[in-house]
Structure 1
Amino acid sequence: MPNLKHLLLLSCLGLSPACIDVPPLEDPPKEDPADPDADFTFTATPAQEQVLPGGTLDCDVRLAWADTTGGAVTWSLVSPPAGIELQPFTLPKGETRATLSIRLGAGTEPGAYTLTLQGKSGTVTKQATVSVTVGKAGDLVVNWVVPTPGKAYTRGPLLLQFTVEGGAAEQVEILKDTTVLVKPTGSPYSFTWDTTSEAEGTYQLSIRATRGGAVFTSAPRTVIVDRTAPTVASFLPAKDAVTVGVRDSIQVTFSEPMNPLSVTEAAVGLKTGAGDAIAKSVALSADGQTLTVTPLSDLTAPSTVQVDLTAAAGALTDLAGNGVASAPAWSFSVPTWLPMGGAVSAVGGATSTESVVLKLDHDDRPILAWAESDGSSKNIYVSRWNGESWFMLGAPLSGFSAIGTNAATPTLAIDTAGEPVVAWGETTGNGDERTVFVRRWTGTTWESLPSPTPPSSLDTLFNPSLTITSDNTINLFTSLYDTAGYSIICYQHSNQAASWQQPWELHDDPYLFNPGAPVSTTSGGNIFVAATVFDDHTSKRNIAVYKGKEPYLGGTTLGNSSTTPSIGADSNGRPWVAWSEFDSAPQSDGQIFWARWEGSSWTAPVAVNTRATGNSTPSLALAKGGPHVLTWSGIIDSERSILVSQWSANSWQTMNAPLNALSAAGTPATAPSVALNSTAQPFVAWTEADASAASIYVVRINR
């Protein structure tokens, strides 16, 4: 009889537009003959749901390897009930399907059983359960051949086949819900149900066999009559979307599950804006409702991508065989930069942010620090990107509790635990007196570090700059005013220390006066500081760079009327510096210059090539294993924007169009801050103002 069932199954193929739930096709696993303990899964489907004592339960097993193909798999029953047995069966390596024959002894007790089938390959063991009902000796057992377990979908004729074992039945009926659909005769039993006159909906079919007044019933089968064409419910990216990532997939969601056998790569057209085909793969989700189109390589940025599903109309069908009536075609844009959320501001209403600083933690999550007024006090705010949005780290920061405080000029560094340390300057309310405050994030709250104490009670500290060395020592450089002049001093704090160590001053030089605006960086155990100084040799403020407590590097200052330095150290541990220069007032002719320390001297300062005017506030980030990045603010086509260049072929090369978050004219973008992640991909933050307030915007490179 099992052979008869197999013949009946084969005979039904191709005779009906109906479709049984079919699992999605999967890509073949990668071969790895060296892995005897490869992970796998399997399914077990019984050919019968009812068996008589002394009979055989045929069970179809299908194997799927998780990552790599393993060796042979041996199947057995775990603690089988009395009278039920499976001789150990081994599926040879390279095969993924077999039929197991589970024997039921003549004395097997009638009833419902759940059998545990186990597959073992190497040290990996997996299990699945199989349900079967054992009838009484002398009873009839009725089993479906088609439809198989699960839901059957049809829009027309549906072949119904079943078997009756254990003797001859006096009457056999196919029930549609509770009414008799037909009384077939003959064996094997077969009937083609024409559903075209049936209302669309779900039906329960069962078989009822009668003998000697006893009734024997099969397990039910669910049949869904569906003549409605599926539709496209939604798709992503949206039509005309402008913020699509280079690795984003295209997804189309349908109104109902689709037949995976109808899904082909040719059903979806994917092209560039110029009409060139983009290689892709297509896959249907487990529930059959979402089609995912994945480009085989990263999309080009910037570019336009066209998606065309018109070829899918009619060819792509639901499980009943109804074709998609119409399918969309649309396009979207892949930009050079992807926005990370929208405008960032801690205080609602028309309040302006300023002095934004961007750093990345050890998990490459961006962290921002900035100053913002709530209308009565100006505080420091710190926010971290969680992958989807910005969330504030703790409460607003201020060194004083009174209303009317004025916290400004934040500086930010990441400690060895990957948590932010922030410092800022704040007016005390006593004339021009200021104090520097430092806080360290513990993961849940801000920990107060001691405020650095100036050498004299008459001295004022301001403009802090933080950097943290590999031993987790916090280095805090601040400008100091002592009523006679300006200098820069360094405070250091380690994890074990309860207070700051005795501060030290940058090396004094008789020809350099009033250093200010310190910025700092570290490389290994070295600390580099860049500052503006008045150079008596040139009678102008230029840039001096110091290595720790040593005299300024090269014995020469950089630039000509230089301001706003930015500093970084390359993979060789040598500092690079960028700054802005202005020769006139108003500062419409500003240029960005840069220079690199060669070990014994500086390269000649060179202006960055740009068509922008009024260039100012550079921010420099040096990469290990990727191009360095330089950002600044400049005016192009009458609009102040953020300019970005990367180091390539021994020069700074412009990276695409300028950055502006707001499309309206008269919305200046200023004071950028750039940081690179562990794979040298740049992130840029800046402040951009509209007519009422200034907010922070952040983007990342689309790579």
Structure 2
Amino acid sequence: MPRPAQPAPLFTNEQGQPRSWVPVGPALEANPEPNTPQARLGLAVDPTGAPIVSWGEDNGAVWGYFFRRAEGNVWSQAATSVFPLPASTFSPPGRPVFAVDPQGRPVMALIEATGHSTSTVRLRRWEGRFWSVLGLGLQAANNRLTEVSSASLAFNCSGEPVVAWGEIGPDEPSLGIHVSQWDGQSWQRVGERLSAYPDGVRGDGSNGIRPSLAVDSRGLPVVAWEESAMREFISRIHVRQWDGTRWLPVGGGVASEDMPSKGDSYSPALVLDGADVPYLTWTQYEGEDSRVLNQVRRPSGARWEGILEAGPRSEPVLAALGSRVFLLFAREDRLEIHTWDGQAWQLVGGPLQALPGETKLGEWALAVDPRGLPVVAWVEYSRNPFSPGKVGPVDWGETQVHVWRFQ
């Protein structure tokens, strides 16, 4: 998606009136029956500025993924469900990655089971009438005993997908990060296996998982991931950039090394602004009581500097377009969106809640439209989905997918 040379005013519209959060059409669900909660949420904005949302749900007959595109305040079907597929090809624990390419086509990276405890990453692209499968499943080992973990998706300067994923092959003691890009005909590897602790150096291996991928204006990928050395039992966030021939560390390579207690760091979210400056956030556990302290950092020479004071924020995610960088997180079951103005973070509108009364949040996602304005999607429960002492779908509460944009 092209980066705007001059984004629209953020806090006021073109007439000088204050912007606010506005629902995009009605709440979404595939099955109107209660107790069919939505999960595995995805959000993107196409080149025309229309939000496209995806989610997984049981529609009463089959579990599948559903897609809707906003046309004004009306939701139209953006694509038919990826599923049903043979049960042997679907690994329920794996959350897919959803994006829209520069031509406006939905693309989904799915972790699919290939056997007992084995899997691959497979990309599907909506061609307007059907889902095409891009090449073979992504497995660096090319072995039926390979197991993959979570993946991340971006697009290069040609509009082709680039994917990062975690993998452990049959002869490897631990998970490593791999990157490949589609050249229009087949998948091409980008460099070697990424691992902060190469096997044999420490003698105990390590596990690299949950990559977050971005591609700069030259088409070169940048990857952040969490990795734990097995002997140390501490997860850290590592960042590398491809320079065309090799992977180089960014900001010294370890973004979370100087945290006070050296606590575990999980689930990085990485974006690049219009000047290709990386912004990074993650979930950090600190202290004996495992307090959650999230922050945002960017590289400054050989280190990562914090530009958001560490504080209690749940599952932060970032999105950026041009000069605009946005941060989305949950606090006390309300969603907050902040933007970086170059010196400080500013709240964008007020906390978001769609349903009246006491509610609970499920998953959430963030995107930026071509004007540089944020769009948010989230799952909201009408009551606590996990009632104390009770188990089962009847206690999950009613849920819906909500999409709001700042306009």
Please report the TM-score for the alignment, with normalisation by the length of structure 2.
0.79
Q: Where do residues 621-640 of structure 1 align in structure 2 (5 Å cutoff)?
A: 621-625=319-323, 627-635=324-332, 640=333
Offset at residue 442 of structure 1 (A): 1.6
Cα distance in 1 for residues equivalent to 2:136 and 2:64: 17
Question: Alpha-carbon deviations, 1:268-315, whole Å to 9, x = none?
Answer: xxxxxxxxxxxxxxxxxxxxxxxxxxxx944335xxxxxxxxxxxxxx
Counterpart among 14, 17, 30 of residue 299 in structure 1? 17
Structure 2 SS opposite 1:457: coil
Q: Distance in 1 between matches of 2:62 and 2:91?
A: 6
Task: Work out whether residues 569 and 622 of structure 1, in 8 Å CA contact, stay in contact via their aligned partners in 2.
Answer: yes
Alignment partners' CA distance in 2, 1:677 and 1:656: 17
**How far off its partner does 1:656 sit?**
3.9
Q: 2:345 aligns with which of 612, 628, 652?
A: 652
Instruction: Note the aligned Cα RMSD (angstroms).
Output: 2.9
Contact 2:216 2:276 in 1 (8 A): yes
Q: Distance in 2 between matches of 1:653 and 1:592?
A: 16
Residues 577-634 of structure 1: per-residue CA shift (max 9 Å, x gap)? 11121236886x3222111124x33332354466xx4x22211112324x42100122
Give the equivalent residue in structure 2 for 1:564. 267
Between stretches 412-421 and 400-409, larger displacement belongs to 400-409
SS at match of 1:422: strand
After superposition, where does 1:540-555 map in structure 2 within 5 Å? 540-548=234-242, 549-555=246-252
**Which one of 314, 331, 334 corresponds to residue 641 of structure 1?**
334
In structure 1, the residue matched to 2:23 is 339
For residues 387-426 of structure 1, the aligned pairs below 5 Å read 387-398=72-83, 400-402=85-87, 405-407=90-92, 408-426=94-112
Deviation at 1:545, TM superposition (A): 1.1
**Alpha-carbon deviation of 1:649?**
4.8
Q: Note if contact 2:297-2:308 (Cα within 8 Å) is conserved in structure 1.
A: no
Contact (CA 8 Å) 1:433, 1:460: kept in 2 or not?
yes
Alignment partners' CA distance in 2, 1:402 and 1:649: 49
Q: 2:294 — aligned with what?
A: 592
- The corresponding residue for 1:526 is 220
Higher relative contact order (CA closer than 8 Å, sequence separation 6+) = 2
1:683 and 2:375 are equivalent in the alignment: yes
Contact 1:672 1:684 in 2 (8 A): yes
SS of equivalent to 2:251: helix
Shift of 1:401: 2.8
Q: Is the 8 A contact 2:196 2:238 kept in 1?
A: no
1:25-45 per-position Cα deviation (integer Å, ceiling 9, x unaligned): xxxxxxxxxxxxxxxxxxxxx
Residues 250-261 of structure 1 aligned to structure 2 (within 5 Å): none
Q: Does residue 618 of structure 1 match 2:316? A: yes
Q: Give the deviation of 1:647 after TM superposition.
A: 0.8
Of 65, 85, 90, the residue aligned with 1:380 is 65
Letter in 2 for 1:493: W
Which moved further from structure 2: 367-376 or 454-463?
367-376
1:486 to 175, 193, 203: 175
Find the aligned partners of 1:591 and 1:466 in 2 and give their Cα distance: 26
Give 1:418 shift. Answer: 2.5
Query: Does the 8 Å CA contact 1:513/1:535 hold for their aligned counterparts?
Result: yes
Identical-pair percentage: 22
1:444 to 107, 129, 136: 129
TM-score by length of 1: 0.48
Q: Distance in 1 between matches of 2:63 and 2:118?
A: 16
Q: Could you tell me which amino acid in structure 1 is paired with residue 122 of structure 2?
A: F
Contact 2:120/2:146, CA 8 A, preserved across alignment: no
Contact 2:317 2:365 (C-alpha < 8 Å) held by counterparts: yes
Q: Quote the Cα distance in structure 2 between the aligned partners of 1:503 and 1:378.
A: 35
Using a 3 Å threshold, how does the CA distance of structure 1 residues 586 and 355 change in structure 2: closer, same or farther?
farther
SS at the partner of 1:416?
coil
Deviation at residue 406 of structure 1 after TM alignment: 4.5
Distance 1:585 1:393 in 2: 47
Deviations 1:242-279 (A, max 9, x none): xxx987xxxxxxxxxxxxxxxxxxxxxxxxxxxxxxxx
Is 1:367 the counterpart of 2:52 in the alignment? yes
Letter in 2 for 1:488: I
Residue type of the alignment partner of 2:24: M
Shift of 1:434: 2.8
Q: Which residue of 1 aligns with 2:404?
A: 699
The one-letter amino acid of 1:594's match is V
Per the alignment, residue 209 of structure 2 pairs with: 516
Aligned pairs, how many?
362
Counterpart-to-counterpart distance in 2, 1:345 and 1:425: 23
Instruction: Find the partner of 1:462 among 149, 158, 162.
Output: 149
- 1:19 aligns with none
How far, CA to CA, are the matches of 2:288 and 2:15 in structure 1?
51
Contact 1:371-1:410 within 8 A present in 2 as well: no
